[in-house]
Amino acid sequence: MVVGGAILTVRKLKMAQERARLPEWFRTRLPTGELQKKFNETKATVKENMLHTVCQEARCPNIHECWAAKDATFMVAGQECTRGCRFCAVGTIKSPPPLDEGEPAKLADAISSMGLNHAVITVVNRDDLEDSGAGHYRRCLEAVRETSPEVTLELLCSDLAGDLDDLANLLDDLELEVFAHNVECVPRLDRVVRDHRASFAQSISILVEAKRLRPDILTKSSIMVGLGESDEEVTEAMQMLREANVDLVTIGQYLAPSERHLSIDRFPEPAIFDEWASQAEEMGFLGCASGPLVRSSYRAGDLLASATARLRTGME
């Protein structure tokens, strides 16, 4: 027992030292007053409806800020993923339980009671299903739209195993503001970072086809840094996304969820994130969120609103 306790103490000390080595800019402010009230309301609704949110599952550092702003990201189709990407905090399972047929209704009821401005619906990979879960994702979005027509919707989708027919069935006549799919890392690091069934090329093909099928929907993707890439590779990946007609991009620092995940290679300074944001503007992206604490759904509603405003201005 003493030995076990000593090992546990050493592990805790190691984790504390890792946290202590985080750069000074990794600080978040907790909401107060009315913002704290809104955060608590969102948290209570999520708990009451037994919903899974990426905000919690992925241990997002911005959960207080986004929930207080009435933005939330919900994860559907289960709590565990059929893939084992080496950066992700979500659990992995080879044979997940059957889909919850009542999930669309529960999700819709929760969102309608939360007073959200923008909802991101993200998914776990379901490689065990014939359509990779596309039909279920669609039913969830349709249920939310029916009960909350005023809420803008964003789907952060899987790559659907690269099946473009499943993508077409998902997007056909679907009322949606943003279709997002993350490339996650620069192409060179695919095999290091992502599950062997995923790739930058496959992700790009999904984004290209989504824009071809639905040019009226904004497309979006995200890149993590601190995994072993160079600054130049990030710029090149951004350019590849822009050439795929992706409208919105987010860039954020990778933080290892545990000691079992990939270790952090570097911490680019905030000024470098600002430079990538400037490059995104020059490349023609309609919107970019770039910063150490930025995640793919960070203030997603604000990013959509600013992009929509830019589109309107361009049309006038």
**DSSP secondary structure, 21-37, as one string:** TS-TT---PPP-HHHHH
Q: Quick one: pLDDT band at residue 51, thresholds 50, 70, 90?
A: low
Q: Which domains does the chain have, with CATH numbers?
A: 28-315 (3.20.20.70)
Helix (H, G, I), strand (E, B) or coil at 252: strand
Q: What is the pLDDT of residues 219-263, one digit of tens each?
A: 999 999 999 999 999 999 999 999 999 999 999 999 988 888 999
Q: What is the pLDDT of residues 60-115, one digit of tens each?
A: 555 555 555 566 788 899 989 999 999 988 888 999 999 999 999 999 998 888 77
pLDDT of residue 54: 55
pLDDT of residue 113: 82
Q: Which residues contact 157 (CB under 8 A, 6 or more apart)?
A: 122, 123, 137, 170, 179, 180, 181, 206
Contact between 181 and 221 (Cβ < 8 Å):
yes
Q: Is the pLDDT of residue 22 over 80?
A: no
pLDDT of residue 24: 76
Q: What is the pLDDT of residues 269-291, one digit of tens each?
A: 999 999 999 999 999 999 999 99
Contact between 122 and 79 (Cβ < 8 Å):
no
pLDDT of residue 271: 97
Q: Quick one: pLDDT band at residue 17, thresholds 50, 70, 90?
A: very low
Out of 6-15, 79-88, 191-200, 250-259, least confident range: 6-15
231 versus 37: the higher-pLDDT residue is 231
pLDDT of residue 15: 45
**CB-side exposure of 183: number of CA atoms within 13 Å?**
34
Q: Mean pLDDT over residues 195-216, rounded?
A: 98
